[in-house]
Amino acid sequence: MKLVPSVQQLETEMTAWRRHLHANPELGFEEFETACFVADKLRSWGIETTEGVGRTGVVGTLRGRLGTGRSLGIRADMDALPMTEARPLPHASRIPGKMHGCGHDGHTTMLLGAASALARSPDFAGTVHFIFQPAEEGRGGAVAMLNEGLFERFPCDEVYALHNSERPLGEIAVHRGTVAAAADRFEIVVHGRGSHAAMPHLAINPLPSAARILLAIEALPGRLTDVHSPAIVTVGSLRAGEAFNTIPDTAFLTGTVRTFDHKVQMTLETAIRRIAKNEAEAFGASVDIRYESPFAPTINTPAQADAMIAIASEVMGPERLVVDPPPEMGSEDFCYMLQQRPGCYFLLGQADDSHQAAAHDTNYDFNDAILPIGASLWVRLVERRLSAGGAS
């Protein structure tokens, strides 16, 4: 392991920042204190800082001392999740119902660590933009930044991001193509007509329709879609009725669709709409469907993935590197930055004996042991991709 010495010196400080952020979580587009914390730190190191990009986003811009050249964007997410932390850690969330359950406190800290080290020794040619993004967890923070001209105001030839993962501590997984799935979400409301359960002929019972919709749509992957293109349809909630002897007016289903291929994604959306409508109408009910696609598939470009592979292998050694594992069924809104710029999103393992819980688990905590690893990867990425002789 060859960590960057100036980053290693920051380990105690970075751990304190990370725990401060962990104790004070803020949800998407409400990262006011977090953005202030980030902006104050960047300014204190003499980094040009722009706040309010995509509402609560922050961008720090640093130019290398080896001359002009290309430009890189490195993105960290800042938002927490609406859940309550289970464990009474000394740095546990102070706010019930909010928790850094996905490690974005750690991502923010690693990028701050890299910014601090690079500001002291900007041994590169060109420009790096440190992109602190709000609202990654389904609230559209990446798109908000892009819509406010992120890449016009802060031109980036390439973009990079990382996510902690339940892989062993220090293991790095890089995909040279698709990393993460598209995630759609749907809500189906079946409108019927209630009545006494003993007089069903007077009712239009929405429950059997909802049940048929559930069974039909969950069976779609591998039937209507090619079994070689992975897809998942999961109904996560089904609600209807309150009493054993009453037929309710309405039934609700909500769920998610995960895919890697846009065509498969479209096929499933069309089929879900068609099945819901037809199943309901077959018995005289009607449906309202809300279908949203907040996350596209996350797809790396090969040249930038190869660059990340070289840097990961330099910093962590080739034995810690996993190239092209199966893509994740989870999703990531960095996908929208990758739609506009070449780049790479990779995974950094953090699991050890005291960090077994996966992200979004109420027992989860980011592992501070990977702070110097992530920050070192970012420093070396900037130095190598913006070397004075051009990208290596």
User: Would you say 161 or 233 has its CB closer to Zn ion?
Assistant: 161
137 in a labelled binding site? yes
Provide the minimum distance between the beta carbon of 377 and Zn ion in the complex, in angstroms, as a whole number: 17
Provide the minimum distance between the beta carbon of 163 and Zn ion in the complex, in angstroms, as a whole number: 6
Distance CA 136, CA 88 (A): 26
User: Would you say 84 or 229 has its CB closer to Zn ion?
Assistant: 84
* Cβ proximity of 25 and 105 under 8 Å: yes
User: Would you say 260 or 364 has its CB closer to Zn ion?
Assistant: 364
201 in a labelled binding site? no
Q: Which amino acid is located at 2 in the chain?
A: K
Distance CA 231, CA 262 (A): 11
Instruction: DSSP for 66-129, please give it.
Output: T----EEEEEEE---BSS---S--TT--SSTT-B--SSHHHHHHHHHHHHHHHHH---SSSEEE
Distance CA 291, CA 272 (A): 9
User: Would you say 56 or 205 has its CB closer to Zn ion?
Assistant: 56
The sheet carrying 71-77 orders its strands as 48-53, 57-63, 127-133, 71-77, 158-168, 343-351, 172-174, 321-323
100 in a labelled binding site? no
User: Would you say 286 or 293 has its CB closer to Zn ion?
Assistant: 293
Burial of 152 (0-12, 13-18, 19+ CB in 10 A): exposed
User: Would you say 74 or 310 has its CB closer to Zn ion?
Assistant: 74
Distance CA 19, CA 24 (A): 9
175 in a labelled binding site? no
Provide the minimum distance between the beta carbon of 164 and Zn ion in the complex, in angstroms, as a whole number: 8
Applying CB under 5 A, the residues found at the interface with Zn ion are: 102
CB-based contacts of 135, cutoff 8 Å, min separation 6: 27, 28, 29, 31, 54, 55, 56, 79, 141, 144
Provide the minimum distance between the beta carbon of 237 and Zn ion in the complex, in angstroms, as a whole number: 19
Provide the minimum distance between the beta carbon of 134 and Zn ion in the complex, in angstroms, as a whole number: 13
Provide the minimum distance between the beta carbon of 82 and Zn ion in the complex, in angstroms, as a whole number: 11
Measured from each CB, the residue nearest to Zn ion is 102
- For the annotated binding site for Mn(2+), the residues are 102, 104, 137, 163, 360
